[in-house]
Structure 1
Amino acid sequence: MAIQDQVASVLSASRRLLIDGRFVEPPRTSPSLNPATGAVLGEAPDAGVEHAEAAVAAARRAFDTTSWATDVELRIRCLDQLYRALSEHKEELRELTIAEVGAPRMLTHGAQLDEPVELVGYYAGLLREHPLTEDLGEAEYQGQRHHRWIEKEAAGVVAAIIPYNFPLQLALAKLAPALAAGCTVVLKGAPDTPLVTLALGELIAEHTDIPPGVVNVITSSEVEVGELLTTHPDVDVVSFTGSTVTGRRILAAASSTVKRVFLELGGKSALIMLDDADIRAASMYAAFGICLHSGQGCALNSRLLVPRHQHDAIAESVAKYLGKVSYGDPGDPKTYMGPLISERQREKVDGMVRRAVEAGAVLVTGGEKVDPGFFYTPTLLANVDPDSELAQEEVFGPVLAMIPYDDEDHAVRIANNSIYGLSGAVYGGDQERALAIARRIRTGTFSINGGNYFFSDTPFGGYKQSGIGREKGVAGLEEFLESKTFGTVVA
């Protein structure tokens, strides 16, 4: 089949839930919209509580009664198969991601698709070499010799719940290490981007030897479905990416069964421009950074901290580069920024911008809705109060809040003045000075002078209310493993 026919087929396909190795079509569906046009892209199956119950039961059964949790070679083979399937169907997934997520084509060659596919290959390779046992040697106790060792084993059934902004990246960042560890999974896609997640489930069912029940994929608009996954006694691990407000509720709900909970939540990351920074380079980094996927990224630097005496000059420079951000049709290879995910999200972003201006911030550029679709122009607000809503709350749009500071200590205090601690950045002419500032900021990831920290082997996660635990890298695998310590008397 020609690639054009494959693309047409994937965009018109009727998606199904994957439960216990079988495709399931619930009687109810919900529309998935193309955010670049506002038109209905397709109908997605809308799972009810009964489907979530069936998915958990299947995952529990697969974990308890099959060899998945103990057969390392099977898991390696299946991860290799999934990697090949994703690679072979990448162009179909690319078109679906552009259409449903509103992701610009150029971004699918990075964090929206190509990089997440490599995560699967990474974990297949890691499983081949990562030690699942640790010998502690012998020790004497009460006149006898005792041999001690540690074995790592799968944590159990995982409920993986993802948001809309990077559906494949977020799904595979949970799914790949969980499967490598030997866990079984119920993956719940976001209501705004169900089709991409369901397409992943179909590839798993049709192109891998992953046993029935090991991976179950559902999408639902019902709040009760998510609540069931986070409280069900047969779920051992909850891995959630989304808002901090929802994360708090999940943590509280999961406490009744004392299950393991990993949370990758919100961020209000700060980019600090030092007084010896290259203003041109830093301004470009700030402008294009906040417009990546229309600002719909938890780790994006949405606060720009600048020396007070350079505030106006930097505002002019950043505004110039925001004006160079191309936005529009996400299918166009030249488009840098696509739409927001929905009209609801656009209204939220616009409301925060309006309130910031009413509170005294200066709208330097942007702050406009563009139709058709859910576009919002790249926006800079200057002289923002560091304690204001715009400086403290996650916007999730292409909106940069510029805040002046008096000296380095003041900049550090402002950067750390947040309930979040996910990421951050610093630009400065003196590398050691910039690094010293970076080490004072309480976040889980940090960029120095444009350095990239986001790779398959680098742990990602945050401090404070940005989450609990880490994804990717060896740390991401360890999140899904339990440690069992053994001791035996030496004859």
Structure 2
Amino acid sequence: MSTSTTIGTTPPVAEEARRTVPDFVRAGDHLMWIDGRQTPGSSGETLATIDPTTEEKLAGIGRGTADDVDTAVRAAQRAFTDPSWSGIDPDRRGRILTQVADVFDEHGDELANIESRTMGMPHRMTRHMMGAVAQTYRHFAGWPTRLNGHTVALGPDRLGYTRKEPLGVVGCIWGWNGPMPQLALKLAPALAAGNTAVLKPPEWASLTTLRFAELLHQETDLPAGVVNVVTGSGSVVGEALVRHPGVAKIAFTGSTRVGRHVHEVASADLKRLTLELGGKSPVVVFADADLEATARGVAIALLGGSGQACTAGTRILVQESVREEFAERLSAAVAAFTVGDPFDPATMMGPLATRQHFDHVTGYLDVAAQEGAHTRTGGSRYGDRGFFVEPTLLDEVTPDMRVVREEIFGPVGALMSFTDTADAITKANQTEYGLAASVWTSDLTTAHRVADGVDAGTVWVNTHHEMTTGPMPFSGFKQSGVGGEGGPEVMDAFTKHKAVLLAL
């Protein structure tokens, strides 16, 4: 494989920054949170959390079991009906959510530090994300007082009205590629609607959630049992949570493969579902775009979070008349993406999150070579320690290649071309996914036509990866999901509507 990238051979390590390890991480093995108390779980066993930069053990987390899930669900059921939660007025519930937002304002540095250590994202990015998480909880803090029903005209001797009521216990399962923002988009509306929750954090990046649970207990008025955390594997803890008859809804973020299984299992007792799944997002670059600025933007679309993003812009479609010029600019932008330790301020891209995922992504680099793709830049492991992969741009690909069709979830993009707007839309839609897309052009008409024609839940214009902290919906089409997160619509996903008719 070609290794034409201009970055160095070993990741720079910011030793001074890495010495500042949060006390919580230093504490060793960490317990689960159930019914307002820390618990080791029924197995008494732990799973190791590995630092993806150094490949060394950071800490241990409890290896949860189905019995632990049952204990947590029962605690959440009791909390759901307890007057300390069910009996408070909407304004009080909103103020508690504001307290949760304050946790992220006050402890953002520590939580970002833990997040970067466990999943490898540059610290400057995780610190920004903690600010966004605070905004998410603050946004949803305004919802409890706005969950109103309506009256219905039925005649002089009848009164009809509707109520929005909470569902009950919500099971939240989400990914390791940004744990706190993903959790916020599930937990904040769940709590705003008056539900309780059992959280199953990502197996390889659970420490931030456990510290968050501890801070909820210490610094908010959230009653015991409203939020519970059971750590462990998806095949055991996640499976038990999805199957549990006491869970009214599952809010899940993960791969399409696992999402299909969750959908199948949850359908057995007709659980409510929100599934935010995979993507193979197209980036459509027209000849009239500012090519230099667009190249930098597309590099970020591809490589942000080391490409470990469901919205990553991995299928790069460029108008034929500027294909080679743009390819050269993009290759330079990709090759200049600084790889290194997450705590080095110069780092733009950290390691992949786990050894398992590192093997998965590098396996696709071998597939690309076998399929005949040309590597313009990157294409190899980066350094000799940590789960680093070079920023990689593939060329001479065809739509039938696996590297074009399948979600790699790493810093690997495929460069292709199109002729006109109709051709761009056709090629953008040549995927089973429909999560996101971006179009880069100076022509407003072109932008609207592509946004209208691309079958994706989110379409960005002259930007990519911009997520709101609650005001706008985020949902996937086709194999990218069921339902959505954010926007006013999300409150319907966490409530049930009751109709009441009175004979007067």
Answer whether TM exceeds 0.5 for this pair. Answer: yes
- TM superposition shift of 1:487: 1.5
Query: Which residue does 1:84 correspond to in 2?
Result: 102
Match of 2:150 among 119, 124, 134: 134
Q: Is the 8 A contact 2:361 2:408 kept in 1?
A: yes
Match of 2:47 among 19, 27, 30: 30
Residues 257-290 of structure 1, C-alpha deviations (whole Å, 9 max, x = no match): 0110110000111000112222212211111221
- TM superposition shift of 1:50: 1.2
- TM superposition shift of 1:452: 6.6
Letter in 1 for 2:412: V
Match of 1:100 among 118, 134, 147: 118
Match of 1:122 among 134, 139, 142: 139
Letter in 1 for 2:93: R
Mapping of 1:274-423 within 5 angstroms? 274-370=286-382, 371-423=384-436
Letter in 1 for 2:474: F
DSSP-derived class of the 1:171 partner: helix
Q: Is the 8 A contact 1:165 1:296 kept in 2?
A: yes
Q: Which moved more, 1:167-176 or 1:304-313?
A: 304-313
CA distance in 1, matches of 2:465, 2:435: 14
Q: Is the 8 A contact 2:62 2:232 kept in 1?
A: yes
DSSP-derived class of the 1:35 partner: coil
CA distance in 2, matches of 1:237, 1:345: 29
Q: 1:238 to 1:452 in 2, by over 3 A?
A: closer
Match of 1:245 among 245, 257, 282: 257
CA distance in 1, matches of 2:337, 2:296: 10
Residues 236-255 of structure 1, C-alpha deviations (whole Å, 9 max, x = no match): 00110000000000100011
- TM superposition shift of 1:471: 1.0
Q: 1:287 to 1:451 in 2, by over 3 A?
A: closer
DSSP-derived class of the 1:376 partner: coil
- TM superposition shift of 1:13: 2.6
Query: Which residue does 1:21 correspond to in 2?
Result: 36
- TM superposition shift of 1:407: 2.7
Residues 420-462 of structure 1, C-alpha deviations (whole Å, 9 max, x = no match): 1110000112122122111100111111112775112111111
Query: Which residue does 1:441 correspond to in 2?
Result: 454
CA distance in 2, matches of 1:256, 1:452: 35
Q: Is the 8 A contact 2:421 2:446 kept in 1?
A: no
Match of 1:53 among 64, 70, 73: 70
Q: Is the 8 A contact 2:231 2:237 kept in 1?
A: no
Residues 23-70 of structure 1, C-alpha deviations (whole Å, 9 max, x = no match): 102311111011111111111122112111101111112213445245
Query: Which residue does 1:471 correspond to in 2?
Result: 485
Taking structure 2 as the reference length, the TM-score comes to 0.92
Residues 195-226 of structure 1, C-alpha deviations (whole Å, 9 max, x = no match): 11111111112222211211101110261221
- Cα RMSD for the two superposed structures: 1.9
Query: Which residue does 1:175 correspond to in 2?
Result: 187
Query: Which residue does 1:231 correspond to in 2?
Result: 243
Q: Is the 8 A contact 2:64 2:236 kept in 1?
A: no
Unaligned runs of 5+ in 1: none
- TM superposition shift of 1:5: 11
Q: Which moved more, 1:435-444 or 1:382-391?
A: 382-391
CA distance in 2, matches of 1:166, 1:476: 20
Letter in 1 for 2:149: T
Match of 1:426 among 439, 446, 450: 439
Letter in 1 for 2:477: Y
- TM superposition shift of 1:4: 11
CA distance in 2, matches of 1:86, 1:306: 40
CA distance in 1, matches of 2:164, 2:409: 38
- TM superposition shift of 1:296: 0.5
CA distance in 2, matches of 1:408, 1:267: 22
Match of 2:474 among 443, 456, 460: 460
Q: 1:304 to 1:60 in 2, by over 3 A?
A: same
Taking structure 1 as the reference length, the TM-score comes to 0.94
- TM superposition shift of 1:317: 1.1
Unaligned runs of 5+ in 2: 1-16
Q: 1:380 to 1:183 in 2, by over 3 A?
A: same
1:189 matches 2:207: no
Q: Which moved more, 1:393-402 or 1:144-153?
A: 144-153
CA distance in 2, matches of 1:329, 1:427: 31
Query: Which residue does 2:494 correspond to in 1?
Result: 480
1:8 matches 2:25: no
Residues 71-109 of structure 1, C-alpha deviations (whole Å, 9 max, x = no match): 223322321222222221111112111111111012123
Letter in 2 for 1:385: T
CA distance in 1, matches of 2:22, 2:369: 45
Q: 1:192 to 1:398 in 2, by over 3 A?
A: same
Query: Which residue does 2:267 correspond to in 1?
Result: 255
Q: Percent identity?
A: 35
Q: 1:452 to 1:42 in 2, by over 3 A?
A: closer
Q: Which moved more, 1:191-200 or 1:275-284?
A: 275-284
CA distance in 2, matches of 1:183, 1:266: 27
CA distance in 1, matches of 2:141, 2:76: 21
| Aligned length in residues | 482
CA distance in 1, matches of 2:494, 2:118: 30
CA distance in 2, matches of 1:65, 1:121: 24
Letter in 2 for 1:454: M
- TM superposition shift of 1:114: 1.7
Q: Is the 8 A contact 1:68 1:74 kept in 2?
A: no
